[in-house]
Amino acid sequence: GNSVTQMEGPVTLSEEAFLTINCTYTATGYPSLFWYVQYPGEGLQLLLKATKADDKGSNKGFEATYRKETTSFHLEKGSVQVSDSAVYFCALSRASNTGKLIFGQGTTLQVKP
């Protein structure tokens, strides 16, 4: 079946450190891939997305590249800030499941000053 696996957290970094959160997926065909962020006490916000292989999604300094050969969509940021502390979810959506998002378990990021 379709699934998303994320690295376990929490990930604790100092401000201005480099961030990588790993995400791999299992799906048939060509899913669309997403990163959502959830700040404490809030709903999910779309951070970035990629809809085909080799696409790079980017937003607010975050980037992720759709790698079909490794079935991965790792999230990166060159310099994290305290305000980036949140839970990050990787998700996929397949053509035969219109709009349905399949989420990973989430990775908590804590950034210390």
Partner 1 sequence: ETGVTQSPTHLIKTRGQQVTLRCSSQSGHNTVSWYQQALGQGPQFIFQYYREEENGRGNFPPRFSGLQFPNYSSELNVNALELDDSALYLCASSPNGQLTDTQYFGPGTRLTVL
Applying CB under 8 A, the residues found at the interface with partner 1 are: 4, 32, 36, 42-46, 49, 51, 89, 91, 93-95, 97-106
- For 46, the 3-state DSSP assignment is strand
- In angstroms, what is the minimal distance from the CB of 60 to partner 1? 15
Least distance (Å) from partner 1 to the CB of residue 16? 28
Distance CA 10, CA 1 (A): 27
- Spell out the SS3 assignment of 41-96: CCCEEEEEEECCCCCEEEECCEEEECECCCCECCEEECCCCHHHCEEEEEEEECCC
Minimum gap (Å) between residue 90 Cβ and partner 1: 9
